[in-house]
Each structure stands twice: as structure tokens, then as C-alpha cells.
A and B are shown apart, each in its own frame.
Chain A
Amino acid sequence: MATTPYRVIGTRPVRHDGADKVTGKAVYTADFKLPGLQAGFVLRSPHPHAKIVSIDTSAAEATAGVSAVVTGADFPNVQDKIAQLGEGSVNLAHLSANCMAKDKVLYKGHAVAAVSATNAHIAEEAAAKIVVEYEMLPSVTDIMEAMADDAPLLHADLFTDDLGQKADTASNVAVHMHFEKGDVAAGFEQADVVVEAEFKTATVHQGYIEPHAIVADYNEDGRVRLWTATQGSFTCRQQTAEILQIGVGDVLVTPCEIGGGFGGKIAVYLEPTAAILSKKAGRPVSILMTRTDVFEATGPTPASFMRVKVGAKNDGTLIAGEAWIAYDAGAFPGGVIGPGCMCVFSCYDIEHAVVDGYDVCVNKPHTKAYRAPGATQVAFAMEQLMDELAEQLDICPLEIRMKNAVKEGSRRVDGPVYPQIGYVECLEALRDSDHWNSPLTGDNRGRGIAGGFWFGCGLKSSAACSVNSDGTINLLEGSTDIGGSRASLAMQLAETLGIESSDINPMVGDTDSVGYTDVTGGSRVTFATGLAAYEAGRDLQSQMKVRAAELWECETNDVSIADDGTFSGNGKTAGFKDLATQLFSSGEALVGRATVAPECPTNGFAAHIVDVEVDPDTGKVTILRYTAIQDAGTAIHPSYVEGQMQGGAVQGIGWALNEEYFFNDDDQMTNASFLDYRMPTMLDVPMIDTIIVETGNADHPYGVRGVGEPPIIPPPPAIGNAIYNATQTRMRELPMSPPKVWQAMQSSD
């Protein structure tokens, strides 16, 4: 291990929320109770596409114990307006209609009414008495069928935004986007070898362990208080306020502990409904989703259809690329096609490239971000084509990637030129790894590699630190903590001030108590909120310089701060805690604050290597060995960086092998439980070995890059490449589940 200039960064202290989590004391939304709390239940559509003719709630309202019933008629009319949610944006009219259907249901599970009552059983029984008359409409869940001219239309007022021009006939295609660099036709003419193939991926869910939950209290003074599991308290506040048509200042969001989000807990689902129920009931209302609700009405991330073509010269140099990508947006426009288009060629320097992307509405839940949203699908195509090129050119798969890997100065097809980045370093670490250098032996076994890129974003973050009389610190910050960020933020502040991580009590503030902070998403918290914690520390130090000068009877400029945080001036020295203790008895309290809005992406790269064994009789794929390599810039708390890499790899393995939404002939999801929606269990994955690469990042004082998202990208293509290596069968469809692998092996015999 290289020597580090840091004292706290790079160590592995116990996380501040650890004891509460392992003893079960951590308070999640479902644990939160208020006096008089009512239980809510949401009635959902059994149909994938239908007009709501009428809703009769009278029998439900007359049920003893029922305190309120709401339908779409209780929701204010919201005009079309685009709200930025940090990682992605949303049309608020669509968001409102997704929370509660107005005139149409657009997918099975779409909310049509809600009931609150003294307990959950009464609410559920009363909801069963609500009579909804539906007029059935033809439905469509397949992307290509939805793009056809004669497809059933989800929205009569949706006209394709075709490169900025509105089409004149309604369509399920919300957007056609296009990116281009160089001269693609000329590029392919220069190519000695061209590979081209179609790929499909299934709808998958983020699969967070904690179902959505809400407690809402609509107060007599018109203020709404929400306790919820959200990736962003402030975006939750904004969405709820817009849907309820009240001011953002009239909504207080208190984030509870959160059991995973992965992009799926940014949009609101239950918050407006619970608030309106509470207003009508005059009492606080809680709603808890079941796992079936979570599958049928939240998330998921898009299915895709892709046609990708890549050309290379005989020496392996990529010369041209062309991609046609369609992602399903689900019931409303606004999927993750944008980043999909930007990521398809993002790992390689290709002189001539063109990408066309389509955002397509289908009768599925509105799709949402999922860990590097849109990047995994395209990597499944591109990273397998890289292996196909390598095979045709008789070049090692690692060598062709090294030869074409993006580096500082490479320009992506969507425009940006990379600053200093670490993909080459990741591939070098792969080349030097024990895994790559250990021969794989045995029948039906194969090895595969793949790379992945995710932007990592900045956005707004705020932090404040209050100094206690003993020099310890209460750090208040606005990023809900999903992956151990309280620890990584406290460590950065501790490094800045020259104290220990355990001297800091980090706390996630509610929307009334902390400065505006964007979502926990985009792999941004340790980077951007970390920057805020650092700046808050610097603010504190500059205040303390002034106060130390008064104490030590010298000029402020005479006071200096050493790298270890020690203050010196006028022949006197004091460490941070010592000086803070002295200053506490000599005047005002010390509070540092900062708010930041870095605009630069942090550019994270990963490379994975996997060994598999394929059962030739059943098509079942066993993961024998797995190594994830990633550039973290600087790993603040290496255990949590490794945890992100391992968690992302496991989610990617699930996406690769078994996860998919099954729809029956009536377009109803039939596997909305963890039994038949098969995420990997402990016995399905080996230990995920990790290698952290640290290339630094000039845009952050400690060199941090976002690490949460890149590790989900390489697993599907790496496993696809390994299956090919084991069986000579190329899988072009996700998931690569046993029946599909077996069938493909039969066909290729």
C-alpha cells in the first residue's frame, strides 16, 4: 500500500450509526408512531390499461373505523411542469397521476383510491368495498410493439419530441435523441472488421430491502409533516408541495433511516396520498407498501432493445460505432434513455460514432433510476461486442480494451472531453490481479471481463458543524445516509480539523434544520457533501483563527494552521480540541457552515473479472470467482468503498442471471414477490474480491470520486463473455437464466 498523506482518510473506523443498526434500534419509517396514528391502505388497479368510468367509495366511507377515503378527485390539478430531482427530472402532472390515477390506469398496481382507518385490517377491508368501474383498453408492454404505428396509445396527448421538433401525431415514443461525432459512414469504410448484433434486457427492480413507507401529519395550521424513507428530503418536499399545490415552506420532511434506494426512492409515491388522507381524517396517517406493491407500482428500471455496431482496424483500433437504443419509460415519459445513450461508447475512444435513443411508454410502472441508470443495459451490448471483435481479430479481450480505453483528452460521443480519469489504471490493476493471473481449469468453465463508466455528479449540498465545549463536533448535513455516508463525511471533517472521526456526531437534518441538499444519488454524497463538510471545517478554522488571535493577543495573520490542524501564533500552539475548549469559555459559540454546488462530474470507472461454470444439462450458471476493480479517486473509508463494489457486483449478477418482470398474456406482472423475482441469495454468489484503484480527483480536496454506481455495470457483459468462453454460446438477452442459456446452447450446437 502506498503511503498516504492522511491521518483519518483511508482508515476504517466504526460507523456512527453502527450500534443502532446492529441492535435494531435504528428508527425506520415503519417504526415511527404518533398519537392517534391511522393506518392507510391503497387500492390498486388489477388491469394494465383501462379508463376509470366511476369510483363508488360510499360503502368504504360507511365502514366503522374508517377516517378518510381519497381518490384522484381529491388531488389538485397540476399543470405540466418539469421539476429537476437531482438525478433526472419529472413532469409534475405525470407524477401526480402516478401517485393516484385520475381518468385512466396505465399499469397493474396503479393506485386508484386510498383509505385510512383505525387499523390496517379495517382499511384493507374497507378498500375492498370500493367499486371501481373500468372500461378495458388494449395494452402493450413490449418496447418494439409499443413503437409500432398501430400500438395501443397510453397518452393521447403525447407527441414525440424528435430532436427538438414535436411530431404531429400521438405516439408512445416520448423522445428521440441523437448524438454524433466524426463521420460514421467514413469510419465504417475504414474498418477492417465490423461486428453488429441486437440485444435485449428485461425489466428489473432496484430491490431495496425496505418497502416504501410514510407517516404524514397535515396540521391544523396548514403545514404538512412527513416522516419517510427517501433519497432526498428536499426533493421529496418539493414534489409533495407541488402535487398538493402548497408552498415548499409548508412541508417538513424528516428522513428516517433508509433500507436502500438505488435510485428508486427519489420520486414520491405515498407522500401526497398520505397527506391528503391525513387532512381529511384530521389525524396522522401511515401507509406501508407490501413487497407486491413495491414491485407493481414503484421502480423498476427499463427493459431495453438495442442494435449496436462497432468497427475496428486490424490492429484492434476502434474506428466507428453506431447504436440504436430503445428503453421503456413505463407508464409515463421520462425514462433513463439519456444516460444510456451517453454511456454506450463511454469507455472507448472511437473516432466516429452515432447514437440514436428512444424513450418509449408502455403499460408498466413508470421506470426509475437504478444505480448507474441506463448504463448497465448498453454495457451488456457494447462489452460483449468488444469480445467479439477481439475474437475475430485474435486479440486478447483485455488488450483490445487497453488499446482503446478512454483517457484524459478523449471525447465522448455526447460531447464532453474527459479530464484525468482512471480506466486504464483499472485495466492495469485487472492485468496485475491474482485472479487474471490464475489459470482457469475444468470443463464447462469460462472467464470474462468487462468495463463500466458512470458520470458521478456534484449538485447542491450543505453542512453545518457546531463545536461543543469539549471540542467535539455535531455535524449536521442534508444527505440521507444509505451507504455509510455519515461516517465518510465525519472522516473528511475530522481530517480537515485534525481530530478523530469519533469526535464527531454526524446527523442527517430535516428540511427545516439544514441547508438545501440534493438527493443521495449520482454517487455524489461522499464527493459533494464531503466537500461541504470540508468547507464547513475550513469556515470553522477561519473563525477560530480570529478568536485565537484575540486570545493570544496577536494579529489574525499571525495565526497559522498546520496540516494536522494545530493552531500556532505568538509563540503559542494548541490542537483543535484544546483551542475549541479555551474559546468556549471566552465568547460566542463556534458554528461552521458551508454550502456547495460543484458542477463537475467525478468520472468513475470499473473493470470486473468473473469465472463461471455452466451446467450443460440445465443451463444453470454458477459464479466461481469474482473480482471487482474500481477507481475510487481516494477511498475515504475503504470498507464502505469495498461494500459498494461488492453490493453493486451482486446486484449486477442478479440482473445478469435471473431477475426479470414476467408478464402474462393480459400484461399483468405475475412474479411480484421475492420468491419468483429472483435476486441472488448468499448461496448464489462467491466472495466478491475487490481491488481499489486510487487515481485522485483534482476537483475535490481529498481526491474523491463517486463509487456507488459503476460496479453494477460490468457484471452482465462480463458474465456473458464468461458464458461464451465456457460454451461458445453468445447470450444476447438478459437475464441469462437457466432455460434461456440451455435453449441457446441447444440452438448453437
Chain B
Amino acid sequence: MKDFQYAAPTTIQAATSLLTEHGSGARILAGGTDIIVQLREGLREADIVVDIKKIPELRECQYSDESGLCLGAAVTCCEIYEDADLAGRYGALADSTHIIGGWQIQSRASVGGNLCNASPAADTIPALIVLNAEAQVTGPNGQRTIAADAFCTGPGINSLVDGEFVVAIQIPPQSASMGSAYQRFIPRNEMDIAVVGVGSWIELDADGNIANARISLGAVAATPLFAVEASQFLVGKEPSDDNFAEAAELAKQIATPITDMRGTAHYRTHLVGVLVKRTLTTALARAQA
């Protein structure tokens, strides 16, 4: 491991100046559960590691029925799933934060970090995509927002430019007629990386039919995918097993997985169908509850 400097700024401005000054030589640390491992194993290098979790705004977590959830980028996984109100509203997010690593990891790892690390198999990103989340980004040229489904551009690559970092993740408010779920398939029951991950979100209309739906797939392409056609197919439909099965078939069509030690392309595509049906079923139950 190469020597590097460490800085822990306490304001957004100070962080922006450090990141701008060091450009591509700077790496951001929030929980550190990915970057520390990557630095140790030589997968990434850094001249300076900028710890952003001492910035108060990044540790804030606020919800209102008007603006929804504003999740500071360094808020940890367990702070989300241990908040019963949040976990109830954002089922998919609670599901995904609950299964990343073990307790120790969940007490450090942040959703913002999971998004920025941009792993194709990241557990929170399909959840963020189906919940229609946006990343609030700040940088030397001011602020901008990036939709969750556009945030990742390749394995380990995101759309931030040098000097930019995610301050918060904004997620629309949730009403009682909405429900969401995330599930992944792993060969073991914990401490594993998704062979396939699927997030689903459903909004029901007054008749109990599907007013709106969003489905997202992880670990079956270079980035997490928003399954547009599968999602749109469900709009206006009855939430039946047959319709879920049809949506699952449509979702399978956009999967372009690789064959590796975690599963063959054929098996992964099959699992997309299984998990789309299962997550839609759970999301429906939560929307009906």
C-alpha cells in the first residue's frame, strides 16, 4: 500500500477545496468500508484520503411529507434500518442496508458511499433507483443533482468529476399506497456479494390496481439497471402473479450478465425472473398493508 495523506474537513467548502486541489489524487472516505480495502489491496491509489463524515450536513437525516427524505451522504446503514419510521416508509432501502456486510460494516458503511463506489452488485443502488432517488452533488462549479439510475457509468465508475462529492441523497415522499422491496440472491445467508439483486416499487390506485411501478436490477450489467419496459408494463394492470411473471420476463430481456465465480450468465438471467416476482410480491404486500 502506498503512503497517503489524510484530512478530515468539517465544512463542505473545505472539503471542496481539498478535493479540487488534489484532483484525481484524492479519494473520499465516508464509512471507509470499500476504500480502505481497495487501497490495501492496490485496487485504487490515493495521494490524499478526504474523510467527509466530520461535515455536519453529511450526517443529517430528515424526512417530511412534502419534500421526502434528505439522507446525508455519510449516514450509516444501521441508522436507516434501525429507524422504524424510515424503514417502514422505504422498505427497499431498509432491506438493502440490512444485508450489506455484518453489524460492524453496517455501523460504518453509508448509502452515499455504496452509491459512489458504483459496484454493479451494490445492494442499495437498485433500491435507490426504484425509489426515484437523486444525488445532491457539490463541487468547484457549484451544485447539481444526478438521478440514481444515471449515477453509475461503469463498474467502479460514477459520473462525478474531480472536486465533486455527494452531499446528500434526496428521495421522494412515500404515501400509504406505495410499497417497495429489495432482495438479492447469494449462495450463503450473509457476508456475500449479490449474484443478482432486484429492487421493486409499486404504487396502487384507489381500485387496488398498479398506478405506477419501478423495477431495478443489480449485478447483471456494467451498472445497476432501471428496467423501464418491465416497469411500464405493470402500469394500469392488476397486481397478479401472471402480470408479475410477465414483468419478470421483460426484465430478463435487459440483463446482460457475465459468467464468473459468482454464477453463470444463464443462471443469473434466470434469477432475475425469480427475484422480480419475489420483490414485486413483497412490495405489493407492503403497499396493501
Contacts and interface: CB of A to CB of B under 8 A. Distances in A.
Given A670-B261, A671-B261, A684 B267 contact: no
A51 B66 CA distance: 69
A428 B178 CA distance: 57
**Interface of chain A, main secondary structure:** loop
B190 A658 contact: no
Interface string A494-512: 0000000000000000000
Nearest to A735: B187
Nearest to A670: B261
A166 B260 CA distance: 41
Interface in B165-196: 185, 187-193
B274 interface: yes
A655 to B, nearest CB: 14
B192 A675 contact: yes
B152 interface: no
Given A620-B187, A683-B188, A684-B188, A675 B261 contact: no
A676 B274 contact: no
B30 interface: no
Interface in A717-737: 737
A676 B188 contact: no
A618 B271 contact: yes
A441 interface: no
A732 B264 CA distance: 19
Q: Classify chain B's interface size.
A: 20 to 34
Given A662-B261, A671-B261, A675-B193, A743 B267 contact: yes
Contacts of A681: 188-191
Contacts of A419: none
Interface in B186-221: 187-193
A618 B188 contact: no
A703 interface: no
Q: Classify chain A's interface size.
A: 20 to 34
B262 interface: yes
Interface string A675-687: 1101011111000
Interface string A658-670: 1000100000001
B108 interface: no
B59 interface: no
B201 to A, nearest CB: 22
Interface in A222-263: none
Contact of B192 (A124, A657, A678, A743): A678
Contacts of B261: 662, 670-671, 676
A287 B192 CA distance: 29
A739 interface: yes
A101 B260 CA distance: 30
Contacts of B189: 681, 683-684
B1 interface: yes
B276 to A, nearest CB: 12
A681 B190 CA distance: 7
B3 interface: yes
B88 interface: no
Given A618-B271, A742-B267, A737 B1 contact: no
A21 interface: no
Nearest to B40: A290
Contacts of A676: 193, 261-262
Interface of A: 121, 124-125, 617-618, 620, 657-658, 662, 670-671, 675-676, 678, 680-684, 737-739, 742-743
